Structure 1
């Protein structure tokens, strides 16, 4: 093949990128392309900023290898076909994806490529095991329970990591286009996007991965990798990360990566994951309580561990995994508010927000998804006492409570009246003060 176009989507890296590696191995000339779709305007300000940082970093890396990143704006199918025709490309490569939008894009691109007598090839790379590969013994579209999926996933033969192209040769005269100005994000402490930063954080993480089984739920220790935004945009290969974790004998961390793959195969079977319950019988009547929802969004519920998580979300565009569980359970199981409001709010702020994991996990917590115990409740106070016993995490994000010592910070309503009067912090939501389970000492 003389010329191939590689359409980058959510694989913004050069290392272990099967689509890019195949194009460089089989074509004399390769044109890397990213299309800024106007639909991306619906992304959160945080993710748009992260995306643009990742694109700038990708362009720099491709230029170091003799290539460049072509930037176009508009409909990704039309722009890809137009560029491919202008360079007389014989083939187009891109990473396969599972979201409803991505699958519609792939279908349209396949049809247009065939119409113009070009070959479109889809490649793995967004997950460790392709979402449609593993099937339960009894048939069906995919696994609905994690444990049997994990056993099959762990026993499966994974693909080999592909080599990083040493050189990229582009056709002469291709107008590469300009990167858009870096937009403002909403979270002041959000992580920086790009493969370079991802690899820096990966190297740091692997030096500290040993205590992960003991620390990943310790909210004060902040002992998680914080690599999820880089996985979401493909700045880091999930396969490379899993292989590295195995070399460090961090099986518990590999299990967490399996959860990510699990929800991708769920999303493949159920593309309406963000709006329709997996288990309809669990989609009960939800309370229409705008005030409660807004207090939850603002981190002003009066329950410190919940408010700390919600404020971390706004400040960093990220939230500790245990805090995600606590805050989601509080909204759905304690306040009785529809899980879809939570999905939308997290999508607005999270750098790592994607359909499979954000929506899948919300449904798990709400009791409408893949949880085998859909009616479980999480007591936020007991969770706080277990995973933030000295209140370090709470005081980190709720400055009004910095003067409260130790674990007393988790139940400020039980402090002496003279102490409570000195705190600029709300009591528990009026609509929820009858929730004796967690207000009780």
Structure 2
């Protein structure tokens, strides 16, 4: 159906008007367009609730500026989309394709119900730069190693980035509905929404990108873009980020990170059990020490660089990428606690807790995923000395250690007397 009279755009985690293929197609072909978001009780945003609420507020404002509105309903997305279709006389429901097991099950249900109700159902790209499943190695359904995927990804033709539609025509008489409530207490310092995301992207490209390759591992300075929460909620298009970055000095190292994101999405598409089962099974005698796991979550392991990362996560819903590698390696390789424990904690707290990226990275660091060196272990003390040499990152997030000199900040157990309120390092299965 090329020209529906009314088309519904079912928003999920593509909360923007710029470079939104499904929205652009609907506004070009349909007389009326219903941008719809359904607050699904099965998906609990937890700490991300405030960020999501802000993103939806911003999306509604942008759509109103274009002459439309964001229609919000609460309940099962499939049932609510069909109800809105009946109420508005829509003949099509279009959405952005996704890769998680839950999203794909939702898409299959939508496809069946749309067929039963004689509605046109279509999925569009937009969640990644290159659609998952498009690039395949000879003799395989997906790439298992990043480097050959990176080569194929660079050579692939990327779709053209588009602006927002000139006009969104909502059918008359549609009740917009209430937005999800914003929590009283904000979580972290990042605010949600496309407007904030685009402003951050503009400043990042102009002022910071050139320094990214040399400085992105610097824990204290944190010279990363911090765009990942906005990518996770689709407040900014990954295709636009890649396209706009290309050509700037230092762009390749940054664009490579966008490729990593695409890489894990194609892994999750091919292996939907990524959050639950080893991608590459290994014989690991996992340690079920609940006390050690709790200490890790609380940032009380006695290893300052680990504790700093975990406390940053608790306070900000964010953690520097180098710190994520350090705390992940410590949990899975030093404490030998299962990667699912870490992945679940990150999924609860991270603003950018995307299913594919979160679980792909946890399996990578645990040696059960796509790392070609599964026995890799990051020494936390060496990592701390290299990427936080003056201890500023630790001082910022572990105030008990703020008075220690740089020579002792990463080894407080050598200080005399013992630092009040700060624990000795946890025993590990190897050193008892």
> Would the TM-score normalized by the shorter structure come out above 0.5?
yes
For 1:338-375, what per-residue CA distance to the aligned partner results, in whole angstroms no more than 9, with x for missing partners? 11000100011000001100000000000100010001
Cα distance in 2 for partners of 1:430, 1:12 equals 45
Q: Is residue 60 of structure 1 aligned with residue 48 of structure 2? A: no
Number of the residue aligned with 2:8: 5
State the 1:432 CA deviation: 6.1
**Which segment drifts farther, 48-57 or 353-362?**
48-57
Number of the residue aligned with 1:200: 199
Find 2:426's aligned residue among 429, 432, 437.
429
Number of the residue aligned with 1:327: 327
Number of the residue aligned with 2:265: 264
Cα distance in 2 for partners of 1:47, 1:36 equals 13
State the 1:89 CA deviation: 1.1
Number of the residue aligned with 2:116: 115
Cα RMSD for the two superposed structures: 1.3
Cα distance in 1 for partners of 2:131, 2:73 equals 29
For 1:79-101, what per-residue CA distance to the aligned partner results, in whole angstroms no more than 9, with x for missing partners? 10111122111211100000000
**Which segment drifts farther, 399-408 or 110-119?**
399-408
Cα distance in 2 for partners of 1:284, 1:184 equals 43
Number of the residue aligned with 1:287: 287
Compute the TM-score of the two structures, normalised by the length of structure 2: 0.97
**Contact 2:50/2:187 (8 A) holds in 1:** no
**Contact 1:367/1:375 (8 A) holds in 2:** yes
Where 2:38 maps in the other structure, the secondary structure is: strand
**Contact 1:385/1:407 (8 A) holds in 2:** no
Distance 1:76 1:224, change over 3 A: same
**Contact 1:283/1:368 (8 A) holds in 2:** no
Number of the residue aligned with 1:438: none
State the 1:121 CA deviation: 0.9
Number of the residue aligned with 2:355: 355
**Contact 2:309/2:324 (8 A) holds in 1:** yes
Where 2:301 maps in the other structure, the secondary structure is: coil
For 1:156-192, what per-residue CA distance to the aligned partner results, in whole angstroms no more than 9, with x for missing partners? 000111231111111110111111321246x742411
Where 1:94 maps in the other structure, the secondary structure is: strand
**Which segment drifts farther, 187-196 or 63-72?**
187-196
Number of the residue aligned with 1:180: 180
**Contact 1:317/1:351 (8 A) holds in 2:** yes
Cα distance in 2 for partners of 1:160, 1:353 equals 27
Aligned pairs for 1:311-390 within 5 A: 311-390=311-390
Distance 1:51 1:136, change over 3 A: same
**Contact 1:21/1:164 (8 A) holds in 2:** yes
State the 1:206 CA deviation: 1.1
Find 2:31's aligned residue among 22, 28, 32.
28
State the 1:431 CA deviation: 4.7
Cα distance in 2 for partners of 1:252, 1:325 equals 18
For 1:30-54, what per-residue CA distance to the aligned partner results, in whole angstroms no more than 9, with x for missing partners? 111000111122x3x2212211111
**Contact 2:336/2:429 (8 A) holds in 1:** no
Cα distance in 1 for partners of 2:407, 2:203 equals 31
Cα distance in 2 for partners of 1:333, 1:363 equals 12
**Contact 1:288/1:337 (8 A) holds in 2:** yes
Cα distance in 2 for partners of 1:407, 1:11 equals 47
Show structure 1 runs of 4+ deviating over 6 A.
none
Cα distance in 1 for partners of 2:332, 2:180 equals 39
State the 1:114 CA deviation: 1.0
Cα distance in 1 for partners of 2:291, 2:420 equals 22
Number of the residue aligned with 1:439: none
Gaps in structure 2 of 5+ consecutive residues: none
Number of the residue aligned with 2:155: 155
**Contact 2:334/2:428 (8 A) holds in 1:** no
Cα distance in 2 for partners of 1:223, 1:267 equals 28
Where 2:343 maps in the other structure, the secondary structure is: helix
Where 2:42 maps in the other structure, the secondary structure is: helix
**Contact 1:277/1:283 (8 A) holds in 2:** no
Cα distance in 2 for partners of 1:68, 1:28 equals 15
**Contact 1:129/1:158 (8 A) holds in 2:** yes
